[in-house]
Structure 1
């Protein structure tokens, strides 16, 4: 790599962007200190009290019923309103708004600057392979509010040479059996247009027979499709993978006591809620009705999660994910940057009081929150069977439940051009940002390199 490949202008833009980000961060701190002076301490205290009271009130909303729930809900609304009113009364509201805007700009610009440097780019391994000759697709016409019919997925797939099996909601079928029979009959690709739970079942068959899986984003949430970078607004675009425009990604597959999951397996409160027959028809009402006893351990099993030498005792909820969900960035929550790291992400939550609920505002550093990475986890309970939510599907499994991950066990065929591939955003590293801002500027590229041989030597040594 010679100096001709060094983009001086791009480096200068990054350097100045880093400086602006740091300037915004410093201004966000100095503005309340300079304007409010001794009152700046009250600003910080007011924000912290408001956030803490709101979080505690929400805990009471979830753990009580009747008048207590109504009062807690009113307090959750009144606390931030009272803080805003107080700031406005003492003429400090504009300081808070401007300072928050400056801090937001600093964080956004800092992340953008660092993610634009080459050292943070992550390459997605793609494997060019021939197009399938006998693809077999399973489609649920009710999934995603009828996306199969709306986007004419069956017709397009059949024009591309696929055999399509439409599921009949009035006559439930075992999709794993359908997929297994198709492979034994000669299918060289299995595809699913449906929810993540259906995709997981077919994925296990595809992994067992070493044939690629085609994910069609025709479900409601399409979490797996999102992390694969597929177009969730146009599921028909996923069918381009049936042609020579497709490539393969080798990704991991999780298992909970032999039951496959492409996204996650959940234990505790959420897993118990989704078991209720009323949950499908009225999710909010059912959740609010069941949570008080579940969160206060009056109902449901007492769980213990063992991850190597670490133990999470009596959590209200445990989420085990196929690879790790982002937790360092609100924008990236619920996203996975990798699907092939061969690890499980573990999130455990134990909150026993309103004060501990308020502590959750600390994010990953909250005392009641456990964030772990493992290749295996065992969930035990004080009863022989527990409810488990596997990719949104409600199951009851015997205890203990052993969760593991099979690295790169699943071949997923996707379109080469995927508009939804997310760009990895690294955690904001203020030290690295400061070093970038303090870097010495480099002059523009010389028109006649022979006049600047010393600069070429210096660049070669530096790199």
Structure 2
């Protein structure tokens, strides 16, 4: 609280009205930068070029204004103090959480692991996963065509065959989409499931606390593991472990060019998806609430600790039995600026949790990205959770088990600083 107050005072005490100029110019610069980003994404030709100039040039212009007016020492001091205030606030709000409960796990006798040699740029071979798994007693099935140019085997079908042959554990070294398919088979037969972080992003592995830098460490769970019970998402009968995306992102990943040229494909498609004739809107019913005319919607298996799952956010828990929902509606540069300045307070951004999400549209089908995999599903599309349906076997030693940063609430910080401490009674135990 002292650092936050000092950040404000540092703007006004040395320079008087200069503090007002710093704040106003900073907010205006942020709004102009967001408007430039919108023009860059939603238009082509000269307007896109103008948007790029505005987005890149505005921060430089604000900085030059501070230097010319002699305000940069005050602005820099305020930024550093505000950064200190945010750091202290998060530390104040942090409390050791119980986290997802773990159970002792017996060593599996007939584990079967499915491995995709192409996933993550060839991590299966790079980290010698097949050899280590076989030395630990696991049977390995490669998810690769039986002949050049052939079709990839069905991961779920291979998993079912493994269960029929007596497997007492199923595991996957591959992307999150494949993880979800095999996880559903494991949940169906109440078998433990092993996640090996051999995909590209490994969001599920990250939120389980697994080592994403060395996938081979995930195999330690076969000899020294413990078990978690986590939720499993369901979208129209298809499982998901991370997210289901609707709208702009889902439309982009439908195109085959996206895999080889992500940025170029997205930039080429954005004008039509955001403001052109191809722009699709849909409504979402989030339990009892209705989000109308959304451009993008992300539904997650348990909520993330911030509205930006793609920016390094994590899910603190995977067993709370609730979906996380982030909806976005931006109709122009003005609303983009409002979203940049006001964040979660903007009418263009909705952050909710729910037990059930139903997405409806005028179109009979919707493009959907399920754990990054492109699908087309008939409307309405319904997302739900199966609470604690999945048994996950993890190593006891997991480098990523540090808790995620809590959501920042200045009201809670104020109560911690100045509120009265409740007296403990016998009923508290």
**TM-score, structure 1 normalization:** 0.87
Cα distance in structure 2, aligned partners of 1:371 and 1:304? 15
Cα distance in structure 2, aligned partners of 1:122 and 1:26? 33
In the TM superposition, residue 405 of structure 1 has moved relative to its aligned partner by: 0.5
- Aligned residue number for residue 177 of structure 2: 197
- Aligned residue number for residue 141 of structure 1: 117
- Aligned residue number for residue 317 of structure 1: 296
- Aligned residue number for residue 174 of structure 1: 154
- Contact conserved, 2:220 with 2:395, CA < 8 A, in 1? yes
- Aligned residue number for residue 217 of structure 2: 237
- Contact conserved, 1:55 with 1:358, CA < 8 A, in 2? yes
Q: Where in structure 1 are there 5+ consecutive unaligned residues?
A: 1-21, 441-457
In the TM superposition, residue 375 of structure 1 has moved relative to its aligned partner by: 0.8
Cα distance in structure 2, aligned partners of 1:167 and 1:349? 37
- Aligned residue number for residue 11 of structure 1: none
Question: Among 349, 363, 388, which residue is 2:343 paired with?
Answer: 363
Question: Among 226, 238, 244, which residue is 1:265 paired with?
Answer: 244
Q: What pairs with 1:33-432 in structure 2 (closer than 5 Å)?
A: 33-115=12-94, 117=95, 120-169=96-145, 170-171=149-150, 172-243=152-223, 245-296=224-275, 298-327=277-306, 333-361=312-340, 362-430=342-410, 432=412
Q: Provide the aligned length of Structure 1 versus Structure 2.
A: 421
Cα distance in structure 1, aligned partners of 2:380 and 2:357? 10
**Closer, same or farther: CA 436–396 of 1 in aligned 2, 3 Å:** closer
- Contact conserved, 1:196 with 1:222, CA < 8 A, in 2? yes
Cα distance in structure 2, aligned partners of 1:406 and 1:288? 37
In the TM superposition, residue 424 of structure 1 has moved relative to its aligned partner by: 3.7
**Closer, same or farther: CA 328–381 of 1 in aligned 2, 3 Å:** closer
In the TM superposition, residue 423 of structure 1 has moved relative to its aligned partner by: 1.6
Cα distance in structure 2, aligned partners of 1:246 and 1:349? 40
Q: Show CA shifts across 1:381-403 (max 9, x none).
A: 11111111000000111111111
Bigger drift between 185-194 and 357-366 goes to 357-366
- Contact conserved, 1:322 with 1:343, CA < 8 A, in 2? yes
Question: 1:279 aligns to what SS in structure 2?
Answer: helix
**Closer, same or farther: CA 300–205 of 1 in aligned 2, 3 Å:** farther
- Bigger CA radius of gyration: 1
Question: 2:258 aligns to what SS in structure 1?
Answer: coil
Cα distance in structure 1, aligned partners of 2:153 and 2:306? 37
Q: Where in structure 2 are there 5+ consecutive unaligned residues?
A: none
Q: Show CA shifts across 1:134-192 (max 9, x none).
A: 00000011111111111100000000100001121543110000001101110010000
Q: Show CA shifts across 1:184-204 (max 9, x none).
A: 110010000000000010011
- Contact conserved, 2:314 with 2:404, CA < 8 A, in 1? no
**Closer, same or farther: CA 328–32 of 1 in aligned 2, 3 Å:** farther
- Contact conserved, 1:301 with 1:382, CA < 8 A, in 2? no
In the TM superposition, residue 358 of structure 1 has moved relative to its aligned partner by: 0.8
Q: Show CA shifts across 1:344-393 (max 9, x none).
A: 11111111111101111222111101111111111111111111100000
Question: 2:304 aligns to what SS in structure 1?
Answer: coil
**TM-score, structure 2 normalization:** 0.93
- Contact conserved, 2:197 with 2:218, CA < 8 A, in 1? yes
Cα distance in structure 1, aligned partners of 2:310 and 2:181? 30
In the TM superposition, residue 438 of structure 1 has moved relative to its aligned partner by: 6.2
**Closer, same or farther: CA 435–270 of 1 in aligned 2, 3 Å:** closer
Cα distance in structure 1, aligned partners of 2:310 and 2:273? 29
- Contact conserved, 2:302 with 2:324, CA < 8 A, in 1? yes
Cα distance in structure 2, aligned partners of 1:113 and 1:378? 37
**Closer, same or farther: CA 232–88 of 1 in aligned 2, 3 Å:** same
**Closer, same or farther: CA 93–331 of 1 in aligned 2, 3 Å:** farther
Bigger drift between 250-259 and 420-429 goes to 420-429
- Contact conserved, 1:135 with 1:188, CA < 8 A, in 2? yes
- Aligned residue number for residue 9 of structure 1: none
Bigger drift between 425-434 and 279-288 goes to 425-434
Question: 2:108 aligns to what SS in structure 1?
Answer: coil
- Contact conserved, 1:326 with 1:332, CA < 8 A, in 2? no
Cα distance in structure 1, aligned partners of 2:165 and 2:274? 49
**Closer, same or farther: CA 246–288 of 1 in aligned 2, 3 Å:** same
